[in-house]
Amino acid sequence: MRTMGRTKFRTGAAGGVATAMAAGAAWAQTQPAYTVVPASERLTVAGVFADASVEMKLVMLLLLAAAAASVAVWGVSLGKVGKADAKALAGALGRLRIVRSAGVPMGCLAAAYVMFASFIGISNVRPAPGLTVVAPGLAEATLAIMLGLLATTVAVICERHLEGRIRRAAA
């Protein structure tokens, strides 16, 4: 056993586990009991979108539109696979590649914008706000990243499927 200040620590694996368990039990006793927020006050995806700034709403709508446009481009292009319309198929694949390449960076840029603005706001408030004040901003940033990933994923799936159909038709 070794001593640091007034606290005695056991050395070795068994001592480490015992110390961690004792620390965990002490921490659990000091934590307040948590309650679930009433349904009328809960944060929802629609609430996150409604509370977002105009710029963020535009970015989120653009990312949703990009995902929908990817599906539309894919659907229209499927009919052109057997007709040997190479120019139209190349254009469709190009559009899908644009969405594939731009979705995630655009979502991450929007998330960085939200977090930057949130951190500036938090730094100008005393005392520092708790997690319940910060959580909606983090949810907004996460939603932006999620929509960017959604747009990219939909575009990749559509592009890969279309490429596969083109290869099968060419064979």
- Given a cut of 80, whether residue 21 has pLDDT beyond it is no
What's the structural domain count of the chain?
A: 2
Statement to judge: residues 63 and 11 lie in one domain: no
* pLDDT attached to residue 12: 55
Q: Is residue 39 part of a domain?
A: no
Nearest C-alpha neighbor of 148 from the set 110, 97, 93, 118: 110
- Given a cut of 60, whether residue 56 has pLDDT beyond it is yes
Amino acid at 1: M
d(CA 18, CA 9): 9
Q: Is residue 101 part of a domain?
A: yes
- Given a cut of 70, whether residue 8 has pLDDT beyond it is no
Range of the domain at 11: 1-34
Query: Please, which pLDDT band fits residue 87 given cuts at 50, 70 and 90?
Result: confident
Q: Is residue 127 part of a domain?
A: yes
